[in-house]
Amino acid sequence: MKLLHADREVLVVLGHAFIDSSCCGVAGCRYAFVPGYLQGWHDRKNEDGLPVSTVEAVRDRAEQRAIEEAIRGQELIQSIEFW
Protein backbone atom coordinates (compact mmCIF):
# COMPACT_ATOMS: atom_id res chain seq x y z
CA MET A 1 0.00 0.00 0.00
CA LYS A 2 1.02 3.61 -0.41
CA LEU A 3 0.63 5.71 2.73
CA LEU A 4 0.57 9.51 2.59
CA HIS A 5 2.67 10.88 5.45
CA ALA A 6 4.01 14.42 5.89
CA ASP A 7 3.30 15.25 2.23
CA ARG A 8 5.28 12.22 1.03
CA GLU A 9 4.22 8.75 -0.06
CA VAL A 10 5.58 5.83 1.94
CA LEU A 11 5.69 2.32 0.46
CA VAL A 12 4.30 -0.23 2.95
CA VAL A 13 4.25 -3.97 2.19
CA LEU A 14 1.61 -5.82 4.23
CA GLY A 15 1.77 -9.54 4.93
CA HIS A 16 0.05 -12.34 6.82
CA ALA A 17 1.63 -15.35 8.47
CA PHE A 18 -0.31 -18.42 9.59
CA ILE A 19 1.00 -21.17 11.85
CA ASP A 20 -1.07 -24.32 11.95
CA SER A 21 1.05 -26.29 14.40
CA SER A 22 1.71 -23.91 17.27
CA CYS A 23 1.43 -25.09 20.86
CA CYS A 24 -2.08 -23.64 21.16
CA GLY A 25 -3.44 -24.63 17.74
CA VAL A 26 -3.78 -22.42 14.68
CA ALA A 27 -2.27 -18.94 15.05
CA GLY A 28 -1.38 -16.03 12.82
CA CYS A 29 -0.12 -12.49 12.65
CA ARG A 30 -0.08 -9.50 10.34
CA TYR A 31 3.12 -7.61 9.63
CA ALA A 32 4.37 -4.67 7.60
CA PHE A 33 7.69 -3.96 5.92
CA VAL A 34 8.43 -0.31 5.13
CA PRO A 35 11.03 0.01 2.34
CA GLY A 36 10.82 3.82 2.54
CA TYR A 37 9.60 7.01 0.91
CA LEU A 38 8.57 6.51 -2.71
CA GLN A 39 10.75 8.45 -5.14
CA GLY A 40 9.51 6.67 -8.25
CA TRP A 41 6.60 4.23 -8.64
CA HIS A 42 7.34 1.44 -11.13
CA ASP A 43 9.87 3.73 -12.79
CA ARG A 44 11.84 0.90 -14.40
CA LYS A 45 11.74 -2.85 -15.01
CA ASN A 46 14.15 -5.53 -13.83
CA GLU A 47 15.76 -8.19 -16.02
CA ASP A 48 12.58 -10.32 -15.75
CA GLY A 49 10.37 -7.44 -16.90
CA LEU A 50 8.87 -6.85 -13.45
CA PRO A 51 8.28 -3.26 -12.27
CA VAL A 52 10.76 -1.76 -9.82
CA SER A 53 10.10 1.31 -7.66
CA THR A 54 12.74 3.66 -6.23
CA VAL A 55 12.59 4.35 -2.49
CA GLU A 56 14.51 6.37 0.09
CA ALA A 57 14.96 4.65 3.45
CA VAL A 58 13.33 6.24 6.51
CA ARG A 59 16.31 6.69 8.83
CA ASP A 60 14.91 9.17 11.37
CA ARG A 61 13.53 7.30 14.42
CA ALA A 62 10.88 9.98 15.11
CA GLU A 63 9.63 9.67 11.52
CA GLN A 64 9.58 5.88 11.86
CA ARG A 65 7.45 6.14 15.01
CA ALA A 66 5.03 8.54 13.29
CA ILE A 67 4.73 6.19 10.30
CA GLU A 68 4.18 3.22 12.64
CA GLU A 69 1.32 5.11 14.32
CA ALA A 70 -0.23 5.95 10.94
CA ILE A 71 -0.04 2.30 9.82
CA ARG A 72 -1.52 1.04 13.09
CA GLY A 73 -4.30 3.61 12.71
CA GLN A 74 -5.34 1.96 9.43
CA GLU A 75 -4.37 -1.69 9.85
CA LEU A 76 -4.29 -4.34 12.57
CA ILE A 77 -0.55 -5.04 12.57
CA GLN A 78 1.59 -6.91 15.11
CA SER A 79 5.05 -6.13 13.69
CA ILE A 80 6.47 -3.26 11.61
CA GLU A 81 10.02 -3.36 10.22
CA PHE A 82 11.86 -0.60 8.36
CA TRP A 83 14.42 -1.50 5.69
Query: How is residue 24 annotated by DSSP?
Result: T
Cα–Cα dist 31/27, whole Å: 14
Cα–Cα dist 58/64, whole Å: 7
Q: Which amino acid is at 28?
A: G
Average pLDDT over residues 65-79: 94
Predicted confidence (pLDDT) per residue in 2-56, tens digit: 999 999 999 999 999 887 765 667 778 899 999 999 999 999 999 999 999 999 9
Tell me the pTM: 0.82
